[in-house]
Structure 1
């Protein structure tokens, strides 16, 4: 896979070059030392992956990401000195289309690369998502994701639930959608955003600035309540275990083989069962196919399902998968989804005449 480096620090760029040199499946095609230079080089020779710094003179990494995703889109991994210290820029870049973020590895006195493993893991994950043979790496089917839940089936839930899945470009999309829902929203909102668990608490805090409802990391064993947003906060998959009148959040490592973590399919599939209260599934912008099968399972179980349209998606991968499967009852621009979700819940909308239900 063809890789480019964008970093104003020549030392950091050299560290990244040495790491890539040890990986025969990746080829470094150019290095840029500013955002402006990166825009020129990307237009001339588009890479498949860019390792993007954030803090640079002139155009910073977030703005460079925005412009590249508009003109020569590719996979962008943020690689910066401190992802925690640059948290706001990390989420800004992810909102513009960066896939993930990791701290810049540091060269030790003996020439070893301290902190290289997280970057290597991200690169392997990207290779599984967009490299050759990527279509064989499909998430487990909804039926498979549900297998571990069958023994815990209880009567249908009375709690209204909205489940949202997102990936590339997701933070900004989530901020806009959640901002359209009122603080007294009569449903629990579950969110699976593809993000490393180290960034999940920061993402929850960032989303809280945009959402009238409380936003927190979902805790294993936590019982759901209406008017609250629960963000998946682990590299394991957040699912709903039915219990009593509502439900309890659980985390599971299964399916282990999927490159998508936390898995949107796993979350959606855990909600694909009978329910008395309204249930809404929403699939937002993102690379890959995660969530399409799970959204279809939700639709077949009677949920109201929505996918973001191509025009407003940073990457039209996950929503396209849903559209191809006819999993979405509506395909809407991002600006209309929040209002539609709100109206569906407030109207008590439960689908009983969907032609896809068998």
Structure 2
């Protein structure tokens, strides 16, 4: 498992790192020295498990657990000195979403602190693996390009990678749902973005090759500096035209294709970004009877593209990232509208 440590005491954090490093089954991917740092690092690089201390400066382990479980949920094990002396905090952390509690090995004294921690980690590892298998089983019927009945088209620019991961994290797409993401990103980084996003989601993520079909149960990412298009036969292609368009790949180009060529149900979501790309395309989708959503100002890193959509009346709903995520998770059928 990928394991992270949140502990402000250097000696304790190093002791935890050494315990985890003593087995080849796990790796420590980051160490945070405060609760707020743990929240930020989890958003950037979500682990399978966090070893969370309770008493840290500023944001304590309880509130850090609460914020992580709300934004980028993952397994959390409370590892703190003398947990029996902090029963109130322990139960608040468990109530916030932590799975279990154990003593910090370096402070546990003689009696197998290391083995007790590894035993807890092993148990949680089984739970994490079982959760992934359940998710894979639920999406197995659609991962290999089953009939697409609903198209979820997402466009984003500045701040987009985190926004996309936040709305899709923990979501299992309804059967027959295809997801296509057009993110303003250089072609040299598109593959890295797809790999990173795949580590954040339960859904499989892949970059689009020219001529690919829409795939249900899969997140498909535009990978070139050319524009992603959708044909009337559900095939994805790349086009250089319009050559003078400043945004590449263009959200407008793809949304316009959806409005023109996709006959079924569709939802367009326009997220954070500079400029106006995607606004006119979202308006075309709405005019074609598709469901349209724009991110709100408060949750946007840059309120340019969503603002342009709101000004045009292109969005039927203007929602925060959390509200968009809840909307997706609350739909069990093929229609998201």
- Render the CA deviation track for 1:16-65: whole Å, top value 9, x for unaligned: xxxxxxxxxxxxxxxxxxxxxxxxxxxxxxxxxxxxxxxxxxxxxxx9xx
The correspondence of residues 35-74 of structure 1 with structure 2, limited to 5 A, is: none
Q: Is the 8 A contact 1:186 1:345 kept in 2?
A: no
Of 247, 257, 282, the match for 2:244: 257
1:211 deviates by 1.3
1:225 deviates by 1.7
Q: Is the 8 A contact 2:148 2:216 kept in 1?
A: no
- 2:194 alignment partner in structure 1: 204
- Render the CA deviation track for 1:157-194: whole Å, top value 9, x for unaligned: 96310000000001100111121421565311010100
- 2:181 alignment partner in structure 1: 191
CA RMSD of superposed structures (Å): 2.1
- Render the CA deviation track for 1:89-148: whole Å, top value 9, x for unaligned: xxxxxxxxxxxxxxxxxxxxxxxxxxxxxxxxxxxxxxxxxxxxxxxxxxxxxxxxxxxx
- 1:162 alignment partner in structure 2: 152
Quick check: which has more Rg, 1 or 2? Answer: 2
Of 300, 303, 307, the match for 2:294: 307
- Render the CA deviation track for 1:202-237: whole Å, top value 9, x for unaligned: 000000011111101011101112101110000001
Q: Is the 8 A contact 1:183 1:212 kept in 2?
A: no
- 1:236 alignment partner in structure 2: 226
Of 314, 324, 331, the match for 2:311: 324
More helix by share: 2
Q: Is the 8 A contact 2:268 2:292 kept in 1?
A: yes
- Change beyond 3 A, Cα 1:189–1:285: same
Q: Is the 8 A contact 1:186 1:346 kept in 2?
A: no
**Partner SS for 1:190:** strand
1:274 deviates by 6.7
Please give the alpha-carbon distance, in whole angstroms, between the structure 1 residues aligned to 2:204 and 2:198.
7
Which runs of 5 or more structure 1 residues have no equivalent in the other structure?
1-62, 67-156, 351-358
- Change beyond 3 A, Cα 1:194–1:327: same
Please give the alpha-carbon distance, in whole angstroms, between the structure 1 residues aligned to 2:205 and 2:148.
22
Please give the alpha-carbon distance, in whole angstroms, between the structure 2 residues aligned to 1:298 and 1:205.
29
**Partner SS for 1:272:** helix
- Change beyond 3 A, Cα 1:307–1:216: same
1:295 deviates by 0.3
Q: Does 1:248 pair with 2:235?
A: yes
TM-score scaled by structure 1?
A: 0.51
Please give the alpha-carbon distance, in whole angstroms, between the structure 2 residues aligned to 1:312 and 1:232.
24
- Change beyond 3 A, Cα 1:159–1:186: closer
Aligned residues: 193
Which runs of 5 or more structure 2 residues have no equivalent in the other structure?
1-36, 41-146
- Change beyond 3 A, Cα 1:195–1:185: farther
Q: Does 1:177 pair with 2:167?
A: yes
Q: Is the 8 A contact 1:263 1:290 kept in 2?
A: yes
- 1:273 alignment partner in structure 2: 260
